[in-house]
Structure 1
Amino acid sequence: MLIKQRDSTLKNSIDISVIIPVYDDKRIINCLNALCAQKFKGIFEIIVVENDKTQKILKLIKNYKITYLCCHKKGSYFTRNMGINHAKGKIIVFTDADCIANKDWLKKIWQTFQNPEINIIAGKILNKIGNAKIQKYQREFLITQGLQYLTPISPLPYMPTANIAYRNHILKELKGFDTQFKSGGDVDISWRAQYSGYKLTFLTDAIIQHEGRTSFFKYFRQFYNYGIGHVLLFKKHKKINGKKFVFNPYPFKGLIRALSLGIIKGLFHLCYKRDVYYIKSCYLDTLEHSALLLSALIGSLRYKVLYI
């Protein structure tokens, strides 16, 4: 059952709090519609935190059964922390405004948390939404996101905040997200939780459908921001991983592969088989890996560490 926090008779028995940060993104309507259609039989609340003092989104969602908050500090991790501070649920679940949850999403998460040894659950993310050309490319090459790793920095897994759930007390214990991150705060909090002894469990049937970036520039910027976050992660966790510098071969190998074998294979398939699959793959690889390389250089200068 979906409630608002002001339903005082039930607010102390909320099972799940769903936190959604949003900034000028009308796709939140689809996100909320999917949450309102959940098959979950327990009591849950939806907390929408708008990161815009003009409150554009409030006008769109005012008729939904939600708790609305407005965060004036710029950054998604400020908004998520505000949501955490207001959450009453035993379990806190995060998703994004451009995501659509399967109908049994919360049900699957709640059932798994009935095991007292489960502390953090990461669900599956599918890139299935959107009709822009770049989104169609992403559906072909970035189908599923499971547990992810930044092995040059840490052997521990992490999961994006598009589909992850924590027991409430863990987030309070960790004091929420580190707001110095623009990107990478989800990795940081996953690692800090695991350093504190909490295990990250991957749940394949807790599924979110995610809309990829809507333009090639936004796709490039996404990976650029990832790369800046990677450098800051290295600096913050330097004492734990014991490394004085990092050489990450992934973007170098990816760019070389895209600009050599990718182009050759792509042209061959285009000319002889009329198949553009490898050309599209080459284009996405070039955007991704060049963004990661550029951000590694700029991040190293910004944070005064050597991460290449």
Structure 2
Amino acid sequence: MNKIIVAGSLHYDIMLAAHHRPEKGETVMGSGCSYKFGGKGGNQAVAAARAGAPVSFIGAVGDDAQGTFLLDALRDAGVDTQAVTILPSVPSGMSVAISDAEGDYGAVVVSNANLHIDAAAINDALWRDAGLLVLQNEVPPGVNLQLAQQAKQRGIAVCINAAPARDIEPELAACVQLLIVNAVEARDMCQIAVTDLASACEAAQVLAQRFPQVIVTAGEHGLAFCETGGPASHIAAIPVKLVSTHGAGDCFVGVLSQSLLAGLSLADAAEKANHAAAEHVSRPLSA
């Protein structure tokens, strides 16, 4: 089993640069605009493929120029798109993100076609040779549940990056091997405020009572990981000169998935993904 299946969102991203993000009622003059491939699912699939894994994608786009752009980006990265549905009457998903002078960003997402993924229509052949299914929360909960149950029935491990934050129903949780959450999502799931590596470890250990493997990312502090029945461990963040945090989490998940599929332990895979995310946001200060 040597293939990753990523199911999730595809967004045509409009990226705006500004000194700061606007407050309520404020107009801010921007300094740049670009158009990029996005969506948590799409970004994670591309990251995993670029890291060397065979990847198939399950999703949906509209029959529009944005959909063509999204499909071309997946294919250019080497991702198989046979399970991406093209919908003639629904526009492709999109987002508008504003990146500020400090490298942080905020975004508004309009799901559009991502709300119409038909999990029941997936061909059995797609599951052949798959070793890992990767999910996120930018598609309807029912899609994730159906796909996770199909994967579990076939003995395929399921990873969910539970972002953006929402409840994971017990039926879905029962299918999940690996949970990946950031500080906010971890807090919402276990009521532990993640403010440093110690609290990230605490949250990871609590969540590992519900999921066999857990990773809690804690931004500039680093990350914690835990497996059920074992102690929590942490990896410190790598010092970098920040350019932008946009897509860093998706890079982490994609590289982590490829590393796990290649046979690395959770600790070693997290270490490799941590380095990849640091390179994604900027070059190290020593460079």
Normalized against structure 1, the TM-score is what? 0.28
Structure ranking higher in helix proportion: 1
Normalized against structure 2, the TM-score is what? 0.29
**Structure whose CA Rg is larger:** 1
